[in-house]
Structure 1
């Protein structure tokens, strides 16, 4: 850096809480070196004063509803570079059997996910561990996929544009988007990448009347088809 970095109190507090989260994650066996984290926390705390006192009052807990056997099997497959057989339920409640080459285990502090190359889909996929119904470590060696380590799930998939009312502005704040355009009437247009068609249709359906337009048209058709199927199910029940 050409000049010293000066953090505001809010920035320092955010960094300290993030480091505490990483420390909790490291204690579960995944993440950075605990010694490096302790050193970083101590140095930042010494330099920030009041922010450090506020951060110390924050209780950070990292947990997830994942069977211990699932997490153990995934870690073993990564350590031994062996392929996994998964029985997986998607966000749309579709159960499939897959063989995958594990690449990277991640946690956002609330859930665990496995970045892997899926032989069924013939491409990279991210699997939430709490959606894995059954897992088996195979004797088959996993292929290396070093190009899959850095990309994040939202960088995959097709480009989607949503035109939304002002009530749905939270989408731009809580969803990784590529671009946001403010519209004259207070609405907005967001562009994002959707690697999971079920996730996208869930989002569109949840937004309801706050969605004005969806591009490409196929994405709108998918959501409309799911909405019609849900309505038809209610008619059958009645």
Structure 2
């Protein structure tokens, strides 16, 4: 372990301890000899100016100023490697999206890791597989800037499955990354209501000088987060799904919705209740389980799933 690692561990120990830490515990935490422990204590106090003091009763070391932080850029070896891995994961998570902005950070992390004789090329051993992901489009940066700067945006939007574009002025509220794709929750000034836009369907985007209309988080959560999936709207029904015993352990460990309810049945099957507003996305997820799930209600959802399965089976007759 390098000397800066000793200092870092000692600093973290002092920050999280509510009471003076005995010398023996400091030595055990640093995993070094008595002499080295004394040198690290002295370095932290005398060179880095830490408010490190010792007390007789109770016996030990503590910070007299809990707000003290180490000067500069201090991370443990594990944290540095984790940061580098996360940075590379982000690059693969949305290829090219933030490469230019992250390049200086990537280079700085590489320099620090190399100075500590740590490997920098192991993040490729972490695989991130993306399914049905669409490129975020040319206007992601503009929309992200509008969200963070709290500005309105004028957009041309072409919904998937429609041939015509619509011009709208919107007040962006939140960017949402959902199932490997980006969405924008915004107040639409043309519709006078909250809408969710697929970012890749935005054809044009112009950042405006006017301030965005602010909506409280409670209103956003109620309007956009109450129902199943990405579709907005307060829940209007509750789907009751019964899963076969062979699939039940996996489904019981999944979160379909924050307000879901699950019940184990005596025969090992599992019933899941999920609130929803629009059923398009919910039907697709139900169909993934084929014969291992049955829709108990509502009747309209049960009939819709049955119709889709009948149509799918007809393709193979």
* Number of the residue aligned with 2:242: 163
Residue of structure 2 aligned with 1:103, choices 167, 173, 178: 173
More RCO (CA 8 Å, sep 6+): 1
Residue of structure 1 aligned with 2:138, choices 61, 66, 69: 69
* Number of the residue aligned with 2:157: 86
Structure 1 residues 154-213: Cα deviation after superposition (integer angstroms, max 9, x where no partner): 532433221221233333433334211101111111122334421011122222222223
Q: Larger C-alpha radius of gyration, 1 or 2?
A: 2
Contact 2:239 2:298 in 1 (8 A): yes
Give 1:164-203 correspondences, 5 Å limit. 164-169=243-248, 170-177=250-257, 178-203=260-285
- TM-score of the aligned structures, taking structure 2 as reference length: 0.47
When residues 188 and 95 of structure 1 are mapped into structure 2, their CA distance, relative to the original with a 3 A threshold, is: farther
When residues 231 and 214 of structure 1 are mapped into structure 2, their CA distance, relative to the original with a 3 A threshold, is: same
Gaps of at least 5 residues in structure 1 are: 5-11, 36-54
For 1:138 and 1:60, how far apart are their aligned partners in 2? 36
Residue of structure 2 aligned with 1:146, choices 216, 224, 227: 216
Give 1:188-227 correspondences, 5 Å limit. 188-227=270-309
How far apart are 1:127 and its partner, in Å? 3.8
Aligned length: 211
- TM-score of the aligned structures, taking structure 1 as reference length: 0.59
For 2:264 and 2:302, how far apart are their aligned partners in 1? 21
When residues 197 and 108 of structure 1 are mapped into structure 2, their CA distance, relative to the original with a 3 A threshold, is: closer
Gaps of at least 5 residues in structure 2 are: 1-16, 19-77, 99-103, 106-121, 228-233
What secondary structure, in the 3-state scheme, does the structure 2 residue paired with 1:114 have?
strand
For 2:311 and 2:129, how far apart are their aligned partners in 1? 38
What secondary structure, in the 3-state scheme, does the structure 2 residue paired with 1:171 have?
helix
Contact 1:87 1:135 in 2 (8 A): no
